[in-house]
Structure 1
Amino acid sequence: MRIGELSARTGASRRSLRYYEEQGLLVSSRSPSGQRHYEEEHVQRVRLVRAFLAAGMPSGTIAEMVPCMSRPSEDRARQAVEIMGRERARLSGAIDGLAAARDALDSLIQDNQAYLARSADDDA
């Protein structure tokens, strides 16, 4: 498939797909005229890359994992497990922090709703 179809199927812009290639996150073959061509497996790869980027994972870290995404060897698998474990711990910490912030907001919302209810009762 060409870049436009990959873009349509994944939601990634053509510019993003070219960036992914520059960063080593995606590799395309080229036609004699220089057009990029992608395989079906690239659809899942792009979705995975987008998910990792959305989670705040640096493109350099993703690039370290790319060789393990399609044809792992024993060495690559060990490296991937280490990298992925580190990123999982980072994501878990971020999730915990977000959950704590959400809980604090819930508490503040409840406090302010209770205040508003008391104010309405006092005005009545």
Structure 2
Amino acid sequence: MRIGELCAKAELPRDTVRYYERQGLLEKIPQPNASNNYKVYSAVDLQRLKMIKHAKMLGFTLAEIADVLNIWVEDRFSVEQKRASLQRKLAQIDEKEAALTALRAGIVQALNKVGQPCDDAF
């Protein structure tokens, strides 16, 4: 598929997809014909873009996303290294989840106190 179709399916602007390419988050797509500038993207590229978009929505940085993608794709990592690295990433996600849960509880508590007299004395 060409970039327009890819962007439509991923619901991302072309500039974003091109930026991700420059950052190495997508594999370099060779141009099949030197006479035009059309690149052909695969379903794997679409899946990768959707994962990147979802991870960004959850607050992950592009560097964090790139780490996971590199570990998964690179053949230089052994199965054990991939597992260990992905386990570390899961632990980080669990930490973020706990922090978000605590933050949510604080916001709910503040919301419940809105409009009530302030009785939080020293």
| TM-score range for the pair, normalised by the shorter chain length | 0.7 to 0.9
Correspondence 1:24 to 2:24: yes
Aligned 1:1-124 pairs, distance under 5 A: 1-27=1-27, 28-32=29-33, 33-67=36-70, 69=72, 75-112=77-114, 115=116
Offset, 1:73 = 5.1
Taking a change above 3 Å as real, the CA distance of residues 73 and 30 of structure 1, as seen in their structure-2 partners, is: same
Offset, 1:104 = 1.4
Q: Write the letter of the residue equivalent to 1:111.
A: K
What is the aligned length? 114
Q: Write the letter of the residue equivalent to 2:44.
A: E
Taking a change above 3 Å as real, the CA distance of residues 82 and 106 of structure 1, as seen in their structure-2 partners, is: same
More helix by share: 1
TM-score when scaled to structure 1?
0.73
Q: Which has the larger radius of gyration?
A: 1
Structure 2's unaligned 5+ residue stretches are 118-122
Root-mean-square deviation over aligned CA pairs: 2.5
TM-score when scaled to structure 2?
0.74
Structure 1's unaligned 5+ residue stretches are 117-124
Using the aligned pairs only, state the percent identity: 25
